[in-house]
Structure 1
Amino acid sequence: MRAVILTAVAALALSSPALAQETIAITGGRILTGTSVIESGTVVMRGGRIVSVGSAAAPSGARVIDAAGKTVAPGFVVVDSGLAGSEVSSVKGSNDLSNGANTISASFDVSYGLDPWSFTLPVARLGGITRAVVVPAHAGGGGGAHSHQDDGDDNFAGAGAGGYQSPGLFAGQAAVISLASGGGDILVTPRVAMVAPFGEAGAVASGGARGAEFTLFRETLAEVRLYARNKAAYDRAALRDLSLSRADLEALIPVANGTMPLIVTVHRASDIRQVLRLAREEGVRLILDGAEEGWLVAADIASAGVPVLVNPITNLPGSFETRAARMENAAALNAAGVVIAIKGSEGSVHRAREARYNAGNAVSHGLPYESAIAALSVNPARIFGAGGRLGELTPGAAADVVIWTGDPLEPLSQASAVFIDGVEQPMETRQLMLRDRYRNGGRAAGGMPVAYGN
């Protein structure tokens, strides 16, 4: 087994950044730019960037890849993900998405726990994913790695040990990563958004009632603004006691002044309306996560200009919060003018690649095809401040390009080539290597290990 793991790591590190300087032209394929379709065109990339997209011929001296009969698309950007932050969610030592520290809530930064050698990354990459927005796990979230706040007797707000809120209202800060192989620095942008649960989960963290959470949230923002105006007084202990640690106060300043978006996990239609009202009154930039009942208040969400991270296949009333969940939710939100990004399943770690399947299901329930592609590519990039740089085949954008054997929303289609920053990625995963080693008695790989006999 150790030999297989070492072989996998070596194979996944074959690509070199130097290859990005090569001019590559992908010709003859059906091009999905993220915003339009070119039935037969050419994508040229060099220096890690898209140089041109259109009907022109390949430039002289370029390496030409014939994509006739195939589909060329931007690398997908998966949202609400735990990729590189969790290997096995039930194995605590391999899960860096959850935080239980009393004095560190809003200041929890997932970017410091990222593992570029995670075996989850190649699997997601073969599903056409080239970037991910990694978020901390928290109670009420849609991920497969919830925080300690889900269970236990410590689900209350107010002063915990040391005088700080326990548990905190905030789960921490999200980061954007690259899924490039080779073990390099995969962090693209740290601290792109703050994360907080509302609805039932937020109520539990605030004493048991939704009204308590909204009051506590307002008071927290008031304290953050007080601290921001009086840091010198705070340093000389001349400011009244505050309920958060200094680290959390500092982390929340961009949220309080509207420069950092707040990802709010919320499900019920009435809760969505109240969160929109709170954001309007407090000047907070929102991103809604979940919003299973969003179709009921789609006009309100659109009017507020708030984007939504949605799993379009959620259609069962798993709780009173989601009793109106339906598979037409994504289509209804999009029709109302809401910018949506489609999520993978169960935390977008081991099942991140299912984001494209979810998008296909959304199309079968009324979401226009081009909107589904946008919800996997340009929309998430724009929501998290990377519009024109990620998730789109346009000159100047990162050369994240995937060649598909067919329609990327068709489950039987497979990625035949993946480029990240113009570097062609290995099409191997640990699972595929184990399959090849052990099928047919291991004969294709030189025989079974000694412990297995002959």
Structure 2
Amino acid sequence: MLRSIALVLLTAWGLAAGPVMAERLAITNATVHTLGEDGVIEEATILVRDGRIEAVGSDLSAPSGVTRIDAEGRIVTPGIIDAHGQIGIVEVGAVSGSNDSSVSGRHFTAAFDVTDAINPASMLIPVNRVEGITRAVVAPGHGSGGTLIAGRGAIIDLGGEGDYVTRSPAAMYASLGETGAQLSGGSRGAAMLHLREALQDARDFADNRSAFERRERRDYALGRLDLEALQPVIEGDMPFIVQVHRASDIRAALRLATDFDLRLVISGGAEAWKVADELAALNVPVLIDPLQNLPGRFESLGATLENAARLHEAGVDFAFATGDSHNARNITQAAGNAVAHGLPHEVALAAVMSQPARIWGIDDRVGRIEAGLDADLVVWDGDPLEVTSYPDHVIIKGREMSMETRHTRLRDRYMNLEDDELPRAYRR
């Protein structure tokens, strides 16, 4: 009996603490940036049914009995997609027990997959979610003693527990440039040699799998699990994300992709603007941090705040990413800075919403406000790219999310303390 009562109480608490469920939802009186063919729709209504967008337009009326959100003329956009980060696998970067982003000890670790390490209850999920991030690409990293091929990433939604994995595995990650050189004995040439060997071995394994299993094939530089993990890469079914910054290193990655017919995506790309025409010609997307400006390394001497504008002018597909776990939420500020340095406003919005969805191949589910897509929506109290703007409502797959975080709880706890309740050092 006591056990049953406890289960009922725990279930009730979980429902109260979780997102608000609504089979049908209507957002009315909104300025909707669809980021699709319909462009911006004024005085629009968005109808949501069973987690998907049912309709959007200025000539719609909300049915009776549905949950309503009156936007009062506010801006509504698709949810932000963090195109490259570590939300859910890093809680405290300096505490190894809360950091599951990388492995060490083997030369190649292509089979490493972050999915099983993701914590959907991470404190960093609501902190990023309340500022408009609804989906995130979770990428493995190259930690101390890491490997040239870091492993496989995943795409998740930030709705919390439950069916939160959008795609797994989503991509294979590797490094060239200075990081690749350091992980390969000190030379960029050695890093490229190791990557080519890995891909050649994966091809040979695919062609001679039976002989390998009978131990009638030569030894490979990679283990069986790594060879298996690389099969979707060499078949062109999985993106191959290469972390690289210098223009010459980007060109080397392009040659590798051409030789092996890879679905290459450049991550980092501080000097991508220098090779923009080549990237556009080969249809290779780039994930960039638009705030990257200072030459933190020799490989990023050409970093500039105009990187995004120059890539756009050349016709390169790109999305914005911070690579962060704690402050991925600042991506709208970064996008606003790109606008200040020549990027069109709607293109900057697309770079954090629709473009990541397209690059990652999930644009049939998210990234735009169109009928049939998942209802990942954000209602903003101002221009999303202004630092003073903030979401009033965040909706993921049709569910309205709580706007409470550990930050807001701490604020509410200590905001109105009397002077004598404060520690002596903080008294007025």
What TM-score, normalized to structure 2?
Answer: 0.91
| Residue 423 in structure 1 maps to residue 399 in structure 2 | yes
Q: Distance in 1 between matches of 2:22 and 2:417?
A: 39
**1:334 aligns with one of 298, 312, 324:** 312
Aligned length: 408
Unaligned runs of 5+ in 1: 1-5, 139-146, 150-166, 449-454
More displaced stretch, 63-72 vs 45-54: 63-72
CA contact (8 A) 2:377 2:395 kept: yes
The corresponding residue for 1:39 is 42
Give runs of aligned pairs for residues 43-62 of structure 1, distance below 5 A: 43-61=46-64, 62=66
User: How far 1:99 moved relative to its partner?
Assistant: 1.0
The 1:20/1:246 distance shift into structure 2, 3 A limit, reads farther
The alignment-based identity, stated in percent, is 46
The corresponding residue for 2:151 is 172
The corresponding residue for 1:401 is 377
CA contact (8 A) 2:34 2:78 kept: yes
Output one character per residue of 1:77-114: Cα deviation in whole Å (capped at 9) or x when no partner: 00111101110011001011111142761111000001
Output one character per residue of 1:311-361: Cα deviation in whole Å (capped at 9) or x when no partner: 0111111111011110000110111111111113xx321101011110000
Output one character per residue of 1:357-406: Cα deviation in whole Å (capped at 9) or x when no partner: 10000000001111101101111011111013112111111001110001
CA contact (8 A) 1:193 1:263 kept: yes
CA contact (8 A) 1:221 1:256 kept: yes
Give runs of aligned pairs for residues 291-306 of structure 1, distance below 5 A: 291-306=269-284
CA contact (8 A) 2:76 2:377 kept: yes
The corresponding residue for 1:249 is 227
Give runs of aligned pairs for residues 216-295 of structure 1, distance below 5 A: 216-295=194-273
Q: Distance in 2 between matches of 1:410 and 1:39?
A: 20
What TM-score, normalized to structure 1?
Answer: 0.86
The corresponding residue for 2:6 is none
Q: Distance in 1 between matches of 2:230 and 2:16?
A: 38
CA contact (8 A) 1:11 1:426 kept: no
User: How far 1:210 moved relative to its partner?
Assistant: 1.5
Give runs of aligned pairs for residues 45-444 of structure 1, distance below 5 A: 45-61=48-64, 62-102=66-106, 105-138=109-142, 147-149=143-145, 168-181=147-160, 183-344=161-322, 347-441=323-417
RMSD after superposition: 2.0
Q: Distance in 1 between matches of 2:41 and 2:85?
A: 30
User: How far 1:442 moved relative to its partner?
Assistant: 7.9
The corresponding residue for 1:13 is 17
User: How far 1:12 moved relative to its partner?
Assistant: 8.0
The 1:442/1:77 distance shift into structure 2, 3 A limit, reads farther
The 1:306/1:224 distance shift into structure 2, 3 A limit, reads same
Output one character per residue of 1:112-166: Cα deviation in whole Å (capped at 9) or x when no partner: 001111000001011100000000012xxxxxxxx113xxxxxxxxxxxxxxxxx
Q: Distance in 2 between matches of 1:234 and 1:202?
A: 29
Output one character per residue of 1:279-315: Cα deviation in whole Å (capped at 9) or x when no partner: 1111111010011111111111111101110101111
Name the amino acid aligned to 1:230. Answer: N
The corresponding residue for 2:26 is 25
Q: Distance in 2 between matches of 1:309 and 1:429?
A: 28
Q: Distance in 2 between matches of 1:54 and 1:417?
A: 19
Q: Distance in 1 between matches of 2:18 and 2:80?
A: 22
More displaced stretch, 80-89 vs 30-39: 30-39
Unaligned runs of 5+ in 2: 1-9, 423-428
